[in-house]
Chain A
Amino acid sequence: MKTRWKVSNLYLIAVFVILYAPILYLAYYSFNSGGSMHEFEGFTLEHYAEVFQDTRLLIIVLNTLVIALLSSALATIIGVAGALFIHRVRRHTTKQTLLTLNNVLIVSPDVVIGASFLILFTIAGIKLGFTSVLLSHIAFSVPIVVLMVLPKLQEMSPTLVDAAEDLGATRWDVLTKVVLPFIRPGIFAGFFMALTYSLDDFAVTFFVTGNGYATLAVEIYSRARQGVSLSINALSTLIFLFTLLLVLGYYAVNRRGAAKAKTLAEGVRP
């Protein structure tokens, strides 16, 4: 019994080491005063200073964050509406078709989506830049939100809605006071997923950027062609810490929500 516990722990540690070693390696060299990732010569913060002096890079970071926040928020609103709609569809085949169409968008390769957006935007005469990137990020985030929200809706007992209606709630009341609070964890999960998807995305963004507008993924990719400079290491470290904060924040919000729900449930029960 005891050995098994140890083996499984070792395995877990090994997995985490493999997952985090590259990031730590990268972060470690961001403090290297030597010019490359070969030998660690001494501690310095100059690469971090470089990041903050490079206005173009800062603008790109800001662009990336604006796109991530706006697209995930808008995608969440659209996605929740979509999930509510799909949930209301009564005919089984129609529902399945809608769900399949939704899933196809998730599994289809980013390159295909990116290329089709590029063609669509140029035909529609939309100039490549902020608008095109925002629209495409919203588009690929919506199916994810739908997928995160639907299970919550299915979990919800239909009697809850019936009861609310019996008690005289209007449709709007049912939506805002019963349904939305119930599916809130799904909405949060969808929002955060969309956020990370948008921060990550390279393939789609690559096609639809232009006119001096770029996001971080695209910029780092084209810079990496001639070897990654250590300021990119520094920047990546900062971004990693930022996402870590986001995840911790999400976790805190969730836990508070769960604790609240628990006290509520305990309060209701006699």
Chain B
Amino acid sequence: MKPLFRLFAAVFAAAFALMYLASYLNTSEGYTGENTLTVYNWGDYIDPELLTKFEEETGIKVIYQTFDSNEAMMTKISQGGTTFDVAVPSEYALSKMKDEGLLLPIDPVRLPNLKHINPRFLDLSFDPGNKYSVPYFWGTVGIIFNPDLLEEGKTFTSWNDLWDEKLENQILLVDGAREVMGMGLNSLGYSLNDRDEAHLQEAKAKLDTLTPNVKAIVGDEIKMLLANEEAAVGVVWSGDASEIMDENDKLDYVVPEEGSNLWFDNMVIPKTAHNIEGAHAFINFMLDPEVAAQNAEYVGYSTPNESAMEFLPEEISGDKRFYPDPELTEKLEVYENLGKRMLSHYNELFLEFKMHRK
């Protein structure tokens, strides 16, 4: 009995000592005070220095939490029990959250820095009038390729370049119905939100002819596979592309000339927010051109902040792969909400493509 008792006494003593230490650190860092703000963002999606800067400027202490998928974030917010003041969903998640009434409207009067956002990135179909959201980062879907594994001088300018017979068993695709179907539609010159049955069938038939070139259709591991040179070509989001290129600088990224998808991650205020004043202050702070530039440099994604461009080094702001020319950006399209039926039709066609034999 005695050794057992001693062990448990020691365990409890240690636990309470550690707990005291944690709460001491919490208080000394100001995490327990009244004036706090809980931010829920993707992992490693902000320059940590900016959080300190924001705290110094406003005196509001930021409690920073991270998630790894839109679905996980939505579950947490819709279940309640937490008080997130700012969250950063992608655009499709944003429209879902909006429909489910999980968001509070944004007060533009409290966001003077909103004027710095490029108007091209405002008032888009997923949130008309930007009632609920402010864009945080944006990007495209395109082709990443490894010149070392391809024949000399091979480049990509068009989606149709993927159909080259020499690329047999060389291409990795992301496992997303909208992305792959969109690629098929774009390569034929149609919109990636096309609802015309004939166009969809045509795109599907065209995709089927791509199968000999497709090595695999994969999820998040596509980044690792490409960085490790397991395949020569991949169809990926530009955010992933910049990460892959950080890992392996031989690779290059291209947004095809026919156009492609334009995606967004957006700052929103969930319904569960407590510090609405602070949430606006935070969003406004992130919209500040210098802050946005510093953040874009740290994260490596494209900022929608027009005024931030001049604070970015030339090698970033001049990079056509991530800040394409206006004539190309005109052709970029945001995914529209196709409705449940159309979406499941897309999924069905994508599934058929996946099952298509070489």
Which A residues are within 8 Å of any B CB, using their own CB? 36, 38, 55-56, 58-59, 62-63, 65-66, 69-70, 72-73, 76-77, 118-119, 121-122, 126-128, 132, 176-177, 180-181, 184, 187-188, 191, 206-207, 210-212, 214, 219, 221-227, 229
Contacts and interface: CB of A to CB of B under 8 A. Distances in A.
B329 interface: no
Given A126-B81, A221-B68, A66 B22 contact: yes
Nearest to B8: A73
A226 B240 CA distance: 9
Contacts of A229: 44
Given A69-B12, A73-B15, 14 more contacts: A55-B29, A65-B15, A66-B15, A66-B22, A73-B8, A118-B75, A118-B81, A119-B79, A177-B1, A180-B1, A210-B81, A212-B65, A225-B44, A227-B247
Contacts of A214: 65
Interface string B38-67: 100011110000000000000000011111
A127 B81 CA distance: 5
B25 A58 contact: yes
A191 B8 CA distance: 10
Contact of B11 (A62, A69, A181, A221): A69
A207 B79 CA distance: 10
Given A69-B11, A70-B12, A122-B79, A212 B31 contact: yes
Contact of A225 (B25, B42, B79): B42
B45 A226 contact: yes
B338 interface: no
Given A55-B29, A66-B19, A223-B43, A184 B82 contact: no
A214 B66 CA distance: 9
B38 A69 contact: no
Contacts of A126: 81
Given A73-B8, A73-B12, A227 B246 contact: yes
Given A69-B18, A73-B8, A56 B1 contact: no
A170 B76 CA distance: 52
A212 B63 contact: yes
A212 to B, nearest CB: 4
A240 B178 CA distance: 42
A150 to B, nearest CB: 17
B3 to A, nearest CB: 7
Contacts of B65: 210, 212, 214
B81 A55 contact: no
Given A122-B79, A177-B1, A184-B4, A69 B25 contact: no
B176 interface: no
A125 to B, nearest CB: 8
- Which one of A55, A62, A126, A132 has the highest number of Cβ atoms from chain B below 10 Å of its Cβ? A62
18 contacts: A59-B22, A59-B31, A62-B19, A65-B15, A65-B18, A66-B18, A69-B15, A69-B18, A70-B15, A73-B11, A77-B8, A122-B80, A122-B81, A206-B72, A210-B65, A211-B38, A222-B68, A224-B43
A62 B246 CA distance: 33
B155 interface: no
B201 interface: no
A77 B29 CA distance: 35
Contact of A226 (B3, B18, B44): B44
A118 B77 CA distance: 12
A120 to B, nearest CB: 11
A66 B25 CA distance: 14
Contacts of B14: 69
A206 B65 CA distance: 12
Interface in B1-40: 1, 3-4, 7-8, 11-12, 14-15, 18-19, 21-22, 25-26, 29, 31, 36, 38
